[in-house]
Chains A and B, each alone.
Chain A
């Protein structure tokens, strides 16, 4: 049963992304303990074209995952539009109808509706709710009966250790994939440039607002007309994610907010497990099934090695180094020096 992982068994629960039915199948076959996905509309924070599940696909996905012994967690984690909350309520109803194991929500309106209409539905608090203290977690636990909290990526391992001692909910932390630099759910940078943001419409730095403009031998990647990065001849042009761009401040040009890196906290798995974290989460609902399969297998092997008393750090870093294709990685806020 979901969440029992930690009581009888110290294993970390591995929570894996699925942006498509094919990715869900790949994750289940690769050994994901849990798989998270979203409906194909603005109710989830990865509302990109070609991604996500229709209600019918969700029903089939849940059946398939359960056959493999995997749980399904459905993200309804954007903030409902004032005066038009119907889509979000229907999404919650659809999650229940699919037989999925839990809903991941951030909006107090969505949590309130789920608790009132579906008191038996298991509630996970999305990272978009940015609950980082025992007090904020208690609020969601007492008010809505939330059973698990996905922690914001602003906390160090030391802070997670302390937090675990003060809360009775399960915790889930991101360990691999894309990295938000700003506190999730507390960032309107994307809407400032484009009018669209994670909280408003489930997207960040959306492709429809991106342009690549040549100027002499330079190529500028722009978002909503703002230059986010520039590339000289021979440089590989990256995607202009707003917080990973190059900007000028104090007379210097730099990746002011964050370098174009991704999160890899595989080396911290043993410490996170020791801290009492229930589940570790892989980011990447926009990724293809081959990638999902490879990452899930690597992390599942690491978790199994740890269960057998082995050194997960060495095993997993060897497996993952092949996948990042020379891309740069960070352990993010988990190490205090990041700040």
Chain B
């Protein structure tokens, strides 16, 4: 029987070191997941703080039997950003590349192609596979039909779907947390630490729309891909990624574990997700190539 794995994706938000250590200790002890991605992927300015706790977190997760992958930064600009990519690429057994710079520095060693890379088709995926890509987490806007075509063309590649969490939609040179607080990036006072799931952005007539997280823009809604086990297998999906939020991630992981093991159907997974306290409404429009904010229950 084929196993569909689960992973915890890299944390996007500016959580305190104490919260990070607690969060990953719980993941290590209680979350029924196979793989955990750690590291700072959004803002290089946060690195001097959270760099201190990653070794301890790595140790904790590894001792609990998890495969631990260091995720590299998505939009490297400064010398510090670039050095962090170089160091991760040189030192780690497995890294997640979220910018092509990391693929370059990895020089043929195995890596995960993260959702911030622009891989939209089988030919691009194949070029990167030849350079060491062992897992591919597609860009969130890529419809499942395209993901399936890539999986069919490249059966040896593990496909990891971004299955749960606010959708990472954009990155920018500008910090929106700083801008909203009338600061700018060079003097941001790390104000993004106030919003554990991102800062809500609503329209003039109060529609819930987006969430800002420093230089990143996410959806307000929470992506929930809840295809049945059989469908996931048919489409060549090898792993589902759950993106960290300030919610009960153990409960979320348990729901998805039951789903990928075929213990529950999609409808029950949805019903159980809807009982959880989440930062936004459920969405899955991207799966069928529709606007990403839609919730299709067919």
Contact = CB atoms under 8 A, between A and B. Distances in A.
Interface residues of B, number: 73
A8 interface: no
B291 A192 contact: yes
Contacts of A338: 173-174, 184
Contacts of B197: none
Contact of B212 (A80, A108, A142, A256): A256
Given A108-B128, A188-B140, A199 B149 contact: no
A339 B185 contact: yes
A338 B212 CA distance: 17
A155 B77 contact: yes
Contacts of A79: 118, 120-121, 124
Determine which residue in B142, B170, B178, B292 has the highest number of CB atoms from chain A within 10 A of its CB, and name it.
B170
B77 A246 contact: no
Interface residues of A, number: 72
B204 A246 contact: yes
Interface stretch (B28-36, B97-105, B246-254): B97-105
Interface stretch (A39-47, A126-134, A316-324): A126-134
Given A108-B119, A154-B77, A192-B292, A182 B172 contact: yes
A153 B173 contact: yes
Contacts of A337: 184
A133 B82 contact: yes
Interface stretch (A48-56, A221-229, A287-295, A301-309): A221-229
A200 B141 CA distance: 8
A227 B212 contact: no
Interface string B31-46: 0000000000000000
A192 B141 CA distance: 8
B167 interface: yes
Contact of A249 (B185, B199, B293): B199
A140 B128 CA distance: 12
Give the interface centre of B139, B146, B172 by most chain A CB atoms within 10 Å.
B172
A183 B141 contact: no
B112 interface: no
A81 B146 contact: yes
B186 interface: yes
Contacts of A193: 291-293
B204 A227 contact: yes
Interface in B171-189: 171-176, 178-181, 184-186
B123 interface: yes
B85 interface: yes
A192 B206 CA distance: 17
Contacts of B201: 247-249, 256
B289 interface: yes
Contacts of A253: 204
A64 interface: no
Interface string A114-147: 0000000000000011111111101110110000
Contacts of B147: 82
Contacts of B204: 220, 227, 229-230, 246-248, 253
A339 B203 contact: no
Contacts of B173: 152-155, 183, 333, 338-339
Contact of A81 (B120, B184, B185, B186): B120
A75 to B, nearest CB: 15
A246 B290 CA distance: 24
Contacts of A333: 173-174
A247 B199 contact: no
Contacts of B77: 132-133, 154-155, 159
A197 B118 CA distance: 13
A189 interface: yes
A188 B139 contact: yes
Contacts of B12: none
Contact of B285 (A83, A153, A195, A248): A195
A85 interface: yes
B202 to A, nearest CB: 5
B77 to A, nearest CB: 6
Nearest to A135: B101
Nearest to B290: A195
B207 interface: yes
14 contacts: A79-B124, A82-B120, A82-B121, A82-B145, A108-B127, A133-B99, A143-B127, A154-B174, A155-B173, A189-B170, A200-B142, A228-B203, A247-B209, A250-B180
Q: A-B pairs with the 7 shortest C-beta distances?
A: A154-B173, A83-B149, A135-B101, A79-B120, A109-B123, A339-B185, A82-B146
Interface of B: 74-77, 81-82, 85-86, 99-105, 116, 118-124, 127-128, 139-142, 145-147, 149-150, 152-153, 167, 169-176, 178-181, 184-186, 199-207, 209-210, 212, 217, 219, 285-286, 289-293
